[in-house]
Every structure is written in C-alpha cells, then in structure tokens.
Structure 1
Amino acid sequence: MTQEFTKQFINGEWIKGSSNSTIDNINPFTTKPINAIPSANEDDLNKAYQSAENAQAIWQETSPSERQGYFMNLLEVLKKEKESIIDWLVQESGSTRIKANVEYNITYNVVKEAHSFPTRMTGSILPSDTKGKENFVYRNPKGVIGVIGPWNFPLYLAMRSVAPALGAGNTVVLKPASDTPITSGLLIADLLERAGFPKGTINVVVGKGSEIGDAFITHPTPAMLSFTGSTEVGSHLAELAGKDLKDTALELGGNNAMIILDDADIDEAVNSAVFGNFLHQGEICMAVNRLIVDEKIHDKFVEKFTEKVKQLKVGDPNELETVVGPIINHSQLVRIQDDLKKTIDEGATVQTQGSVHGNVMDPVVLSDVTNDMTMAQNEIFGPVAVIIKVKDEAAAINVANDTPYGLSGSVFTGDRWRGLEVAKKVHTGMIHVNDQSVNDEPHVAFGGEKNSGLGRFGGSWALDKFTTEKWISVQAEYRQYPF
C-alpha cells in the first residue's frame, strides 16, 4: 500500500482534518513515530454523518447481488493485501506476527459472513385475528451506524461492526482508537475504497475523544452506536446514547476465569492456559484473567505452567517466534506494573518475573492469589497470569462468579459432560469446555453479561442488532367497527 494515512476519509475523499490538534501515531515497540494525523473536529464529524445519511437511502435500495459483489471485491482485496495488513498490525498495534495472522484470518471470515447478509434480510407473513387482514413483518436496516474501534484487535473488532452493518444495508461512520488510527479506521476505509464501495457508505474520522468523542455519540444522525472497549467508557457512552434512546452494541471489559478441575489433563490444560493468557501479551478482552485450579492438581499445574511460560519468546513482534510483544503504550505498562506490585504486596507468590524493556514486559506468573487481590479483581490486559487454588468444583464456580464481569471463560476437565454442567453455572456470555477463553467465530453469538456489555455480535445475532423490524398490516376487505 502506498497510502500514508494522514487524512480523514469522508464521502469517498481523503481530506485533511480541520482541527488544530494532531494524533501522534507511535510504534509501541520502537516508541518511534509512525506518522502524525491532523485531527477531525465537529465540522468534519458533521460532514461524515451527513455523507453517511445521504448515501444510506441509495445503499439500502441497492440490489442484494450488487451489494454482495462489493463484499466479494473486498475479500479479493484482503487476499491481495494480506502481508501489508499484517505489517500494519505489527507496526501500529504491537501485534506479534502470530497474533496478526490470527487477526487477519478472523477479519477475512467476518467479511465473508457479512457477504451473506443482503440475502438474509428476511421478513414474515403472520395470520390475523381480524377478518380480511394480513400481517407482514419487514426487516430493514437501522440507517447510519456509528462505530468506535478499539486498539487491541483493531482491524477485526472494528470490521466486526462495519462489515455486518454494511451488509444489512446501513452506512457507517467509524471513529478509530487514537492508539491505532490506521488499523482500526483508515486502513478499513482504504480497503473498502479499493473494493469499490460507493461514496459515503464508509466514513472515517480520526479525532481526540476530548474534541469529538461525546459529539460522535450525541449527534442526531446515528440510529445505533457500536463500541468495543473498557467498561468505564462503555458506561459513559450508554448514558449519553440513552438520553436519545439510541440503540447500542457494547462489548466491554472482562475478568475471565479458566477453571481447571481435579480430573483435567494437566499438560493439555497448561498448553491451553498459556495461549489464553499470553496471546497478544494478554491485551485481549477475552484473555484468561484468573486460573482457578483444584487443590488436588494445583502444585503440579503451577510447576508445569511456569516452566512453559519461561520458554516463551519475548521482544520484537516482527520476529516470527515472538509470543509476547510490547504493551500498547507506557501508561498501560505503568498501570499493569502498579497492579502487579499491589498484588505481590497483598501476598501473592512470584513464580517467575523478568524485567521491563521499553514497553515490553516479561511474562509474570503469580500463585497463592486470592480472589480479593488487585489482579484478581481487575482486568489485567497484560502478560501476567494469576493462579487461585480452590478446594473443589463448587468453590471454583463460586470464585469464577465473584466478579462484576461476565464476558468469557473456560472449564478444563477429563469429562466433557461434567465440563458442560459446570459451564452452565458460570455467569458469563461465553464459555468453552477443554479450551481457553479466547474464541470468536463470526457466525456464533458473541457478547457478555453484567458489566461486560450489551447485545451480541456474530451471525444472525449481528443481523438482528443492525436491523429493525416493521409490522405492516393490509386489509383485503373493509373492517366493521363497533362505533
């Protein structure tokens, strides 16, 4: 790609942001600037929403096969630009090449799933208790969708809303995360432009939250807002959207438990837990946050888990074998280090702890953690594993549920049906038996309970979320009324 990504994308044009401020885009590993992007202001935001509104009526009436054609083009563009996309993810978001390939593949799959949406816009005909009446229920797009992208899986988690929204006949205004303005925003605009999507169907505004954040939500145009990020920001967004009764799709924080029961295969549980803890250095909402281990196998698990963690390659995300790369920015690193110190001071035992090099943090394993300690209570979002020893299955379930979050989780056991019964008792939107907590398939319901969000992404659930249903009744003969 030759695109420099220093401009906004509004109504099919690359234009300079109108604000006096800039977004400084920094490589988290080298800590060197990638570029500086002149920010959007409210005038740019208004133009983006107006562009999306103007385009939506035309896009909605575009035939299903024609809309699918644009998605076929997009899939071809994604194939052609795969290596460039992976390079951007490594450079901007600190993704290791392992993680960047995972992200590319699932992005491709969510676009493929959205490709089917134009022909899945089905309605229904229902009988009526009124003589001569027929009831028709039509499924329609909601209109303009505002999407706020995150920085951890920036391309996929933004595209997870953009592609289904467009597939269902909506148009989109996308505000990317300031830490990843390219991979959660401008890169998506470039890919869709290359695929030929009509002007105004996708608009991207890069701007500071302090300048356009609230206005993005309260603007009268968007019928719905989709956000992936922290619970604190999501709660603020929902409060602002609620004043105008706007619909929201919110995927928020997690404190995901991996329960390892007394009959688990320890070696398999270790392999799964290491992946779930340390993929993308733990900067995943679904990452394993607490390892809850039955006391009968606890010591052996801690020993084998720590041994495997010590073998993980740490450092430059561009090197093929690297598993743990840089934290996204220094402030996030400081937060993790502060929570780590508090947890150790509270009585946790350090099984392994290396050093910090720039934004790169060596993996940490803590045992003797109790569920009231800082890193058991908070979402870690870093390369730290906390291990909690419990007496039995019932205690494990109680500890897993002792959190305000409920996004994902897992259960490891030698008896998959026992695992299923335990999974039913854990209060979370998603949970996986004999696997770790980081799972996402574009055709399956994805979302959390409690403080982990509202609504579901994926497949028919996304189609429901990005559409509305309208009842139209038709009288074949005139009714008789009582007065």
Structure 2
Amino acid sequence: MTQRPTTGTPRTADAPDLLDPGLWTGRIFSGGWRGAAADAPVTEPATGAELGRVGVASPADVAEAAERAARAQRDWAALPHRERARVLRRAGDILERHAGQVQDWLIRESGSVPAKAALEVSVSVHECEEAAALASAPLGELLPTDQDRLSLTKRVPVGVVGVISPFNFPLILAMRAIAPALALGNAVVLKPDPRTCVSAGAAIARIFEEAGLPEGLLHVLPGGADTGQALVADPRIRVVSFTGSTAAGRAVGELAARHLKRAHLELGGNSAFVVLDDADLDAAVGLGAWGSFLHSGQICMASGRHLVHSSLAGEYVERLAARADALPVGDPATGEVALGPIIDARQVERVHDLVTATVKAGARLAAGGTHEGLFYRPTVLADVTRDMPAYAQEVFGPVAPVLAFDTLDEAAELAADSEYGLSLGITTSDVGKGMALAERIPSGMAHINDQTVNDEAVSPFGGVGNSGFGRVGGPAANIESFTETRWITVRSQAAVYPF
C-alpha cells in the first residue's frame, strides 16, 4: 500500500523571535527562503525610518512559484482533511503565541494604533480556526435523476489561488483568503502590498512554515505591478483574490477575464451611515466617529457619507466635531493615540486635496482639515451637498462629510446614490424601520444600530457595484470561492446506447 504524504511538524514554534530579520532580509519565500534579485526598504510611516529590507519578486519568480505550487497542491489535496485542519489550527496557535511581535510590526509598518493591531491579529487567528473547521465541511450533494444511476456533485480544489492583498488591514485581508484556500486543498501564491510585506508577508510565511505546511504550498512574493500582472496572467493560477482600489481591481478583473479565470474583487467604498430622527444622538456620534476615524479612515468600509435627519443634523455636527477635536493623533509606537499616520505622502495629498476642494465648494470645516506630515487630523465637514468631492468620492482618510435629509424616501435615495455598494449603517430606535430602509439601499453588508466597519471570519464579505463582486468569509462563500463543482454519476453496470 502506498503511504500518503503527511504534513510536517512545527520546527521551532516556541522560538521567541518569529520574525527574525535574518530570515527574511533581502529574501522571498518560495520553496523556502531564498535570495531575490532586488530588494526594497521597509519604511515606518510615522517616522520615515527604514525598518529593514525585503526581497522583491520578479515575474520570473511568479512563474517558478506557480509551477512549484501546482506540483505540491496535488499531494496536499489528497491528504485526509484532518491533516490539513491540523496545520491550520497550528497556524492560529502560532499567531496567537506570537501576537505581540506581529502587532508591533503592524504598528510600525502600517501605522496601526495598538488596539487596531490587536484586533487584526485576533481576527486573523479566528480565520485560521474557522478554516481548520472548513477542511471537514460537506463538499457535495445528491441530485435527483431520471436514470438508473447515482448522481451527485462534489466540490474539488481549484488548484492554485493567487492572493493580492492591500496595506490597510494587511494581515486580515491576506489571511481570510489564504487560510480557507489552503484548508480546501489549494496552494497559494501571495503578493502582499510592498508597504506592509513584513506584517502581512514574511509573518504569514513564517506562521505557516512553523505550523508544518509542506514546502511549495505557500509562496510570498512582494513586488510591483509587473509581479501582480504576472500572478493574474499565469495559467496555473486559476482563481485570484484581490483587495484594493476600484481602479486597480478593474485592471485585475479585465486581465483575469482575458485568461478565463475567476477573480474575486473586494474594492473601494463610500459607505453611508444613516442617522434617523428617533436615534440616540450620543450613540450615533460614537458610531459615526468610529466608522470614519478608525485607522485614519483607511478602510474600504469606512463611513464616508453621514446622512443625518435635519432635526438632529446641527447637534450631530457639533458633537462629532468636538469628538474629533479631542482625539489624539501621533506615532502609535510611542504614544497613546487614537489615530496614527496616513500610509504615505501621496495619500495625504489626495485626502487634503479632497477636503480643500470641498470647503472651497461651500462646505463648512467643523473640525480638522489640517495635517503635520503624514498625521491628518480627524475632519468633519458640514453643509455638504452630494456633488462635493469629499462626499461624492471615496476619501480613504479620516473625513466625515455630513448631509441632512428630511424624509425616509430622501434618506434611501441619498444612500443609494453612489457607484459603490459595500457597507451600510443605520441607527434608529425602531429596528423594523431600519430594516425596511436597508432593503431599499443596495449594499453587500448592512448593519442596523451599528456603523459600517464590521468584519467576522464566519461572515461573507463583499460588495456590489464598483465595490466589486465575489465573497470571501464563512463556509458557504469560501467553498464557492476556492473550489470547483464537479458532476459525478455512477451506474452499477455499463450503460447501453443504440450505436
């Protein structure tokens, strides 16, 4: 009898330094750690300091990784589900054990405040735990048939999954595709954002390396646009999971379509937070502040449009502005702050241009609107109209434009008037009224008596319109995303046909 290949065992899972720079400096993870033809700096946005240097992958590295991944995937898919689950559980345990170190890198590399970094690690641990359970999920169904045979469907791994992840919640947004893809029997090629390729590149490689994932199943290839294009175009990579801007996602989707492969696109948003006339105003202000200012607004789900009933709008703006003015902004590695830096100077310039243009168009600056370097003050804009730039466009910064409405019909029309459709928040004392309003507003997610930024490993995540398509998260969506459906029939004897 041929013995099945088995997963490895943790080699140094108790090592105190999961992210020893000696392992990843100037290297990529592809068939183990190996040298790269080029390297790039890892920069701390809060200080501009260079934290290290990472290897940069080329299109040739992508081709080699895809070939190795395709070879390794076949044996991985053939393993008993318990062995795949065991690796995912160990990965979650290792991440939890080294949470402090990974959080430190998220703080330094992505500008996360400590609470956000801790949340990101916690959710990523949960992603591994849920993926471990996914390995034993039912993967088919019996079908009715008019013929003398058994007819059924079976979900089978797609083969190799490509993951392109962003900088803002880099660990979660990579892990929520990587963990279920591996659990379902696939191999993965990851291209992390170059700005966060330690906290969500080297860290992920090290976690699965220590968890005993067999060599060749996970490749981590930091790189530029040419690396991403090579990943999407490679014929051995059958599904691409992309998280990023709508413009970049459109290019990914077009390239994937030319190569007849699936692309799951989680793109931008300009989500509405709606405050009805019967809302608890104190609670609404807290929700609005969190939805717009968490991680300096650099979240696709951020509350980008505050729609407030006219009877509350004046006081809402006053209280939200006071809340914004009280929030400390600074280096999250050295101080107790609520907001850290914007990721880079280019994004600060874009945020400030949108705020300035909106004030020039007639909006009132109720709070913020200034920055020192990459540190942008939480900003509240009052008296906005729907055509003003900071209201009509995704800002991706700590900006809360407030627009008043008078009727539920007007609220529904305003909230639905966007090219995006990612998330929706509604606060009201009448839950039925909130639910009825949500039904009238297209969005991939809706939260009654909550703000727009919500995510759980057990829940499907995604949007409609220019916010993308496809879902990742939760058993049903993950199985749909990372497997193919095969129809199988079985007869007790060979069928007989007329000729």
TM norm structure 1: 0.97
Alignment-derived partner of residue 266 in structure 1? 281
Once residues 209 and 335 of structure 2 are traced to their aligned partners in structure 1, the CA distance between those partners, rounded to angstroms, is: 31
Deviation at 1:277, TM superposition (A): 0.8
CA displacement, residues 273-306 of structure 1 (integer Å, 9 cap, x when unaligned): 1111111010000010010001011111111111
Q: In the alignment, residue 292 of structure 1 is paired with which amino acid?
A: L
CA distance in 2, matches of 1:118, 1:143: 15
Amino acid at match of 2:307: I
Q: For residue 439 of structure 2, give the secondary structure of its aligned residue in structure 1.
A: helix
Question: Which residue of the partner structure matches residue 142 of structure 1?
Answer: 158
Q: Offset at 1:219?
A: 1.0
Secondary structure (helix, strand or coil) at the match of 2:255 reads helix
Given that 2:192 and 2:220 are in contact with CA atoms closer than 8 Å, whether structure 1 keeps it comes out as yes
1:350 aligns with 2:365: yes
- Partners of 1:182 and 1:121 lie apart in 2 by 35
Aligned twin of 1:52: 69
Partners of 1:74 and 1:195 within 8 A in 2:
yes
Match of 1:81 in 2: 98
Shift of 1:429: 0.6
Q: After the TM superposition, which residues 141-160 of structure 1 pair with which residues of structure 2 at under 5 Å, given as runs?
A: 141-160=157-176
SS in 2 for 1:296: helix
> Which of the numbers 166, 174, 186 marks the counterpart of 2:190?
174
More divergent stretch after superposition (161-170 vs 120-129): 120-129
Task: Tell me the residue number matched to 2:256.
Answer: 241
Contact 2:28–2:36 (CA<8 Å) still a contact in 1? no
Give structure 2 stretches of 5+ with no counterpart: 1-16
Task: List alignment gaps of at least 5 residues for structure 1.
Answer: none
| 1:231 alignment counterpart | 246
CA–CA distance in structure 2, aligned partners of residues 101 and 263 of structure 1: 34
3-state SS of the aligned residue for 1:66?
Answer: helix
- 1:110-149 equivalences under 5 Å are 110-130=127-147, 132-149=148-165
Q: Is the 8 A contact 2:30 2:220 kept in 1?
A: no
1:464 counterpart residue number: 480
Q: Take 2:263 and 2:304, find their aligned partners in 1: how far apart are those partners?
A: 26
SS of residue matched to 2:115? helix
Matched, 1:205 2:250: no
- Displacement of 1:123: 1.4
Partner of 2:37: 18
Match of 1:6 among 3, 22, 25: 25
Residue 207 of structure 2 corresponds to residue 191 of structure 1: yes
Contact 1:95/1:317 (<8 A) preserved: yes
Paired residue secondary structure (1:425): coil
Aligned counterpart for 1:163 among listed residues 174, 179, 204 = 179
Aligned to 1:420: 435
Aligned counterparts, 1:383-394, within 5 A: 383-394=398-409
Residues 59-92 of structure 1: CA distance to partner in whole angstroms, max 9, x if unpaired?
1011111111111211220121010010000010
3-state SS of the aligned residue for 1:379? Answer: coil
Matches within 5 A, 1:21-100: 22-100=39-117
Structure 1 residue 372 displacement after superposition: 0.9
Correspondence 1:266-415 to 2 at 5 A:
266-319=281-334, 321-353=336-368, 355-415=370-430
**SS of corresponding position for 1:431:** strand
State the shift of 1:478 in Å. 4.5
Kindly provide the CA deviation profile for residues 309-329 of structure 1, in whole angstroms up to 9, marking residues without a partner as x. Answer: 211111111256311110000
Compute the displacement of 1:173 (Å).
0.3
* Post-superposition offset of 1:127: 2.7
Q: Percent identity?
A: 38
SS for the counterpart of 1:428 is coil
CA contact (8 A) 1:97 1:319 kept: no
Contact 2:352 2:369 in 1 (8 A): no
Cα deviation, 1:326-356, whole Å, max 9, x if unaligned, reads: 0000100011111111111111101112632
For the residue of structure 1 that corresponds to 2:458, the secondary structure is coil
Q: Counterpart of 1:6 in structure 2: which amino acid?
A: T
Q: Hey, what's the Cα distance between the residues in 1 that align with 2:316 and 2:30? A: 55
CA distance in 1, matches of 2:189, 2:58: 14
What is the aligned residue count?
Answer: 479
1:199 partner amino acid: E
Quick one: distance in 2 between partners of 1:256 and 1:128?
46
SS of corresponding position for 2:348: helix
Q: Deviations over 1:202-237 (max 9, x none)?
A: 10111121x322111111110100000000000000
- SS of the equivalent of 1:36 reads strand
Residue by residue over 1:391-428, the C-alpha shift from the partner in whole angstroms, topping out at 9 and shown as x without a partner, is 22111111111110000011111101110111111111
CA distance in 2, matches of 1:320, 1:420: 41
Question: Are the counterparts in 2 of residues 23 and 208 from structure 1 also a CA contact under 8 Å?
Answer: no
SS of 1:179's partner is: helix
Q: Which moved more, 1:325-334 or 1:132-141?
A: 132-141
CA distance, structure 1, for counterparts of residue 249 and residue 200 of structure 2: 17
What residue identity is the alignment partner of 1:363?
A: P
